[in-house]
Amino acid sequence: MKDAEFEVRKRIFDEVKQFSRAEQEQLYRILRHCSEEVSENRNGIFFDLVSLKQETIDKIQEFISFCVKNRSTFETREKQISELMENLNTA
């Protein structure tokens, strides 16, 4: 594995650690849709990032980009709502 490929997979690993439950479930659906091998037990679902096909890596990266953008949008809207509530309370 090339250094660049390793770094991509490391970034994916770091992002996945921060996923919410719903995001984890969607990741599982991506893995299943791409016919990747996963292990399941009562502690969760496990997969080997090194053995994933490039197509799967690409789909996971797209999903991570979506999640990051979605979180950012949500935080911006939460801040706007908070500011509006403060303005209403001081008026």
Residue 70 near residue 41, CB atoms below 8 Å? no
- DSSP letter (8 states) at residue 39: E
Number of domains in the chain: 1
pTM exceeds cut of 0.85: no
Range of the domain at 44: 3-90
pLDDT digit string (tens) for the chain, length 91 residues: 688 889 999 999 999 999 999 999 999 999 999 999 999 899 888 999 999 999 999 999 999 999 999 999 999 999 999 999 988 888 6
